[in-house]
Structure 1
Amino acid sequence: MKTNIAWCFLFGIMVCPSVLHSQNDSIATVRGTISTNDLSLSLTHEHIMSNYGVSMDSTAFYDEKALFEQVVPYLKSLRQQGVRSVFDCTTAYFGRRVDLLEEISKRTDIHIIANTGFYGSANDRYIPQLAYEQPVEEIAQIWTNEFEEGIDGTKIKPGFIKLAFDSGSPSTIDLKLVEAGILTHLETGLTMAIHTGENRDAAQKTLSLLNKHQVSPSAWVWVHANKQEDNEMLFEMARLGTWISLDGVNPSNYKDYVDRLQKFKNDGLLKKVLLSHDGNGFPAGGAIRSFDAITQFLIPELKTEGFTENEIEQLTIENPKKAFTPVIRRSE
C-alpha cells in the first residue's frame, strides 16, 4: 500500500520509513520454533561458547565434558535470575556448534537462538575462502538454505544473521557479506546483527547498502553501539529505525550504562535500545566471561534511578522481541 512518505537523510543517504511484510510471531531456537512472546527476558549478544583466537580449522572442536560442566550450571543460575533467552553470536567458522547448543538448551531450559552469517571482524581471519570466491547471491543462498533446511545437517534453524566489520575503512569482503546479509533478509525476514562498534564509516556504508535494496534500517542491529561516543548520531540512527545495541555491560561499568539509557529515555528512544554483555560461557575453553551484570547490577540500578517496570521490560523483553521477529522490513 502506498503512503505519503517523509524522506529522511543521514550521511547524504535517503532513508524511508519501514513497511513490514510477512509478519509472524515466531522465531527459531535450537529446540524448535517458539512464539516470540515466549522469549521473555532476553540477552541479545552473548556467546554460549566460542573458540576465538584459535585457527579456523579448529574452531568447531570443544572439550564437551568441560563445556557442559562449566556452562550448564551457569545458565541455570541465569535462569534463576529471570533470563529466559540468549541470542548466541558465535558464527560458522568461529565456533558455532548448534548440536551442542541444543543439548545445553535442553539441560538448562534456556531458549538459545543460533545464527547464520560469517564473522568479518578479527582482521577477516574467520571468513571462509568460499566467501571471496562466490558471488553475493550464492553466499546469501547458503544462509537462506540454513534458514529453510537447517544448519550443518541438523533441523536446527537460525533466528538471526550475524555479521561484522573491522575498524577503519570497510573492506571489500565485509561489504560483500553485509550485502549478502541484506539479500538473505529479503528472503527470510531474519534481522541482521552487525558488529559495527565505533566505525562511523561502516555505519554509513550499511545505510547505503540498505537503501540500495530498499530495506529499512530496522532490519539492522548496530552491535557494540556503546563504543560510539556520539550520542546524537545514535539518536538519529534510532529515529531512522536502527536498533542500538549497548553491549559490554559489566560489574564495573553498569552505572555508565544507566547514564546513557537516561539520555535515550529523555529523547524518547528507549524503544530502540537493546542491552547485552558480549559475555562468553566457554571462551576457547577458558573461564566464563560473565553475562549476569544486567540482572545483578544494571536492572536494580535502573530501578533506583527511577526507571519504571514498564521501561525495564521494554528494554529487556519487548525490544528484543520486536527487533528479532522475522519479518521483511522494506523501505517504500
Structure 2
Amino acid sequence: MTTVETLEGPVLVEDLGPTLVHEHFFVKNPELEANYPNPDWDEEAMVEKAVNTLAALYDRGIRTFVDLTVMGLGRYIPRIQRIAAQTDVNIIAATGFYTAKDLPMFFHNNGPGLMIDGPEPLVKMFIDDLTVGIADTGVKAAVLKVVTDTPGITPDVERVMNAAAIAHQETGATIMTHTNAALKTGLLQQEFFKKAGVPLENVVIGHCGDSTDIGYLRTLMDNGSTIGLDRFGLENLLVDTKRTEIVAELCKLGYAEKLTISHDAPLFTVNRSAAWRASTVPNWNNTNISDNVIPALRELGVDDDTVHQIMVTNPARILAGTKAAQ
C-alpha cells in the first residue's frame, strides 16, 4: 500500500481526497521581521486563522492541503505542527529552496569546488527532509519545490534544480515548480530536468494558470508534465473568469489527467500587505476554488468525474510520486 507523508504521519494515498496541491500557510522572512516587525503578524492569531481556514475547507470537502513553503520562504515546521494538531485536514510539507537568482552566502562557501570543498549540501538537506525528517520535528516532506523566474536558470538556481533532480532519483518524490508563465520558463525547467534524467511525468510545472497561451500549456503537457493552474484569485495577473475558461478548454481538449488547480494563497505573506490584498485581490484565498471556481467550471460543462480527476486523482498520483510504481 502506498502512503504519503503528512504533518501527522503517513496517510494512504487513496485517503487523501480532494486536495489543494499548491498552497502556503505563512510566507515569512525571519531576519527581516526580527529586526523590523510586521504589523500584520500575530503568532497566535495567525495559527488560529489557519485552523479556522482548514475547518472551512473541510466543510467544503477539502481533505488535503499541500504547503509548498520551503527554505527561502520562512518554513518553520513547529508552527505548522500546532495547526496540524487542531485539524482533520491532511497537511503536507515540502522541501527545496525558493530563490529566483541567488542562494545565501553559506552556499557560496560550502559545496563542490568552493572555499569549503565537499558534497553539495542541498542534496543532503533535501533527501534528509524527505527520508529522515525536517530538523528535529520528525515531520517528513513529501514533495520537492524549485523556482525558475525572470532571471532564468542562474548558477544558484541550477544548483537547487540539480539537487532536486538527485533527491527525486533517490526518493521518488515529485518535483513541483514555480515559473514565470509569461516568459515560458516551464520549458527551461523541462529541458533541464530531462537532461538530468528526471522523467517529466514526475515534474509538475507550476503557475501555468497565469498564461492564456494554450499552445504553451499543451506543449508542457505533451512533453509529459502535469501543469498547475494554481493561482486562482490572483486576479491582478489574470482574472478568474479567464483562468476558469482555460481549465474548461483544456478539459475539452482531453488534458484533464494533466491538470491541477489551487490558489498559491498564503494566509500571511511578508511580501504583500493585508491591506493590498484586500483591495487588489479580495478572492485570493483558500476557499475560492470550492466556492467559486468549481461551480463556474460546471457551468462551462466540466462534469463531476472530471472535477474528481483534477481534485482527487491527479493530486494523489503527484503526491505518491514514483513510490506507487515500485
Q: Does the TM-score normalized on the shorter chain lie above 0.5?
A: yes
Contact 1:167-1:199 within 8 A present in 2 as well: no
Report the CA distance shift for 1:195/1:54 in structure 2 as closer, same or farther (over 3 A): farther
**Which of 2, 6, 22 is equivalent to 1:45?**
22
User: Which residue matches 2:115?
Assistant: none
Q: Distance in 2 between matches of 1:172 and 1:56?
A: 28
Q: Distance in 1 between matches of 2:140 and 2:153?
A: 29
Contact 1:50-1:90 within 8 A present in 2 as well: yes
**Which of 256, 261, 276 is equivalent to 1:275?**
261
User: Which residue matches 1:8?
Assistant: none
User: Which residue matches 2:168?
Assistant: 185
For residue 58 of structure 1, report the CA deviation from its aligned partner. Answer: 7.4
Residues 264-304 of structure 1: CA distance to partner in whole angstroms, max 9, x if unpaired?
A: 12221111011011111122496485111100001111122
Contact 1:273-1:319 within 8 A present in 2 as well: yes
For residue 211 of structure 1, report the CA deviation from its aligned partner. Answer: 2.2
1:104 has 2:80 as partner: no
- Once the two structures are superposed, the pairs formed by residues 306-325 of structure 1 within 5 Å of their partners are 306-325=301-320
1:249 has 2:232 as partner: yes
**Which of 234, 243, 251 is equivalent to 1:265?**
251
Give the TM-score of the pair, scaled to structure 1: 0.83
Q: Distance in 2 between matches of 1:243 and 1:54?
A: 35
1:151 has 2:149 as partner: no
1:202 has 2:185 as partner: yes
The runs of 5 or more residues in structure 2 that have no matched partner are 113-118, 278-283
User: Which residue matches 1:15?
Assistant: none
For residue 137 of structure 1, report the CA deviation from its aligned partner. Answer: 4.0
Q: Distance in 2 between matches of 1:306 and 1:33?
A: 36
Q: Distance in 2 between matches of 1:130 and 1:251?
A: 34
User: Which residue matches 1:19?
Assistant: none
Give the TM-score of the pair, scaled to structure 2: 0.84
Matching residue's letter, 2:4: I
Contact 1:251-1:293 within 8 A present in 2 as well: no
Q: Distance in 2 between matches of 1:30 and 1:286?
A: 28
For residue 118 of structure 1, report the CA deviation from its aligned partner. Answer: 0.5
User: Which residue matches 1:80?
Assistant: 59
Residues 7-33 of structure 1: CA distance to partner in whole angstroms, max 9, x if unpaired?
A: xxxxxxxxxxxxxxxxx6211111101
Indicate the SS of the match to 1:107: coil
Report the CA distance shift for 1:228/1:306 in structure 2 as closer, same or farther (over 3 A): closer
1:117 has 2:96 as partner: yes
Indicate the SS of the match to 2:85: helix
Q: Distance in 2 between matches of 1:184 and 1:152?
A: 17
Contact 1:117-1:143 within 8 A present in 2 as well: yes
Select between 44-53 and 131-140 the one with higher mean Cα deviation.
131-140
- Once the two structures are superposed, the pairs formed by residues 198-237 of structure 1 within 5 Å of their partners are 198=181, 200=183, 202-237=185-220
Matching residue's letter, 1:314: Q
For residue 108 of structure 1, report the CA deviation from its aligned partner. Answer: 1.7
Q: Distance in 1 between matches of 2:221 and 2:136?
A: 38
Aligned residues: 303
For residue 328 of structure 1, report the CA deviation from its aligned partner. Answer: 6.6
Q: Distance in 1 between matches of 2:306 and 2:80?
A: 31
**Which of 214, 238, 248 is equivalent to 2:221?**
238
Q: Distance in 2 between matches of 1:262 and 1:93?
A: 34
Q: Distance in 2 between matches of 1:156 and 1:145?
A: 11
Matching residue's letter, 1:44: V
User: Which residue matches 1:71?
Assistant: 50
1:131 has 2:107 as partner: yes
1:169 has 2:148 as partner: no
Contact 2:127-2:167 within 8 A present in 1 as well: yes
Q: Quick one: higher RCO (CA 8 Å, sep 6+), 1 or 2?
A: 1
Q: Distance in 1 between matches of 2:229 and 2:23?
A: 12
**Which of 284, 293, 302 is equivalent to 1:298?**
293
Contact 1:70-1:282 within 8 A present in 2 as well: no
For residue 171 of structure 1, report the CA deviation from its aligned partner. Answer: 1.1
Q: What is the CA RMSD across the aligned residues, in angstroms?
A: 2.7
Report the CA distance shift for 1:177/1:78 in structure 2 as closer, same or farther (over 3 A): same
Q: Distance in 2 between matches of 1:154 and 1:173?
A: 28
For residue 57 of structure 1, report the CA deviation from its aligned partner. Answer: 7.5
Indicate the SS of the match to 1:326: helix
Contact 1:49-1:281 within 8 A present in 2 as well: yes
Q: Distance in 1 between matches of 2:107 and 2:12?
A: 33
The runs of 5 or more residues in structure 1 that have no matched partner are 1-23
User: Which residue matches 1:7?
Assistant: none
Indicate the SS of the match to 1:327: helix
Residues 226-285 of structure 1: CA distance to partner in whole angstroms, max 9, x if unpaired?
A: 223321121121122111101211296332122101221222111101101111112249
Select between 82-91 and 65-74 the one with higher mean Cα deviation.
65-74
